Amino acid sequence: MDRDLAARRQLHTTIFDHCYSPCGKYIAAANNYGQIAVFSLSAALAPEASEATWKPVFIFEASEDGAIFTLTSTDTLLISGGNGPIKAWKWSDILSKSPRVVWSLNIPKKGPFSQPEINSIVLNTEEDKSEVFAGCGDNNIYVWDLESGEQKITLSGHDNYVHSLAVKNGNTCASASEDGTVKIWDTRSPSDAVHSIKPYKNELCARPKFGKWLGCVAMDTTDDWLVCGGGPSLSLWHLRSLTATTMFDTPGACQQCVMFHDDSIISAGSKGYINHWSVNGEQRMEVPCTPSSVFSLSYNSASNNSTTMFDTPGACQQCVMFHDDSIISAGSKGYINHWSVNGEQRMEVPCTPSSVFSLSYNSASNNCKVLSATGNSSKLDIFTNFGYKAFSFTFSQI
- The Cα–Cα gap between 137 and 133 comes to 14
Q: Can you give the length of the chain in residues?
A: 398
Which CATH number fits the domain that encloses residue 310? 2.130.10.10
Structural domain containing residue 313 = 3-394
pLDDT reported for residue 309 = 63
The tens digit of pLDDT for each residue in 222-256 reads 878 999 999 999 999 999 999 999 988 888 888 88
DSSP 168: E
Burial class (CB in 10 A: 0-12, 13-18, 19+), 374: buried
Print burial letters for 119-157: b (CB count within 10 Å at least 16), e (below 16): bbbbbbeeeebebbbbbbbbbbbbbbebeeeeeebebeb
pLDDT reported for residue 279 = 81
The tens digit of pLDDT for each residue in 355-378 reads 999 999 998 988 899 999 999 999
Per-residue pLDDT band at 214 (split at 50, 70, 90): very high
Order of all β-strands in the sheet with 77-82: 68-73, 77-82, 84-90, 101-105
pLDDT reported for residue 201 = 96
Q: How many domains does the chain have?
A: 1
pLDDT reported for residue 385 = 85
- The Cα–Cα gap between 340 and 218 comes to 15
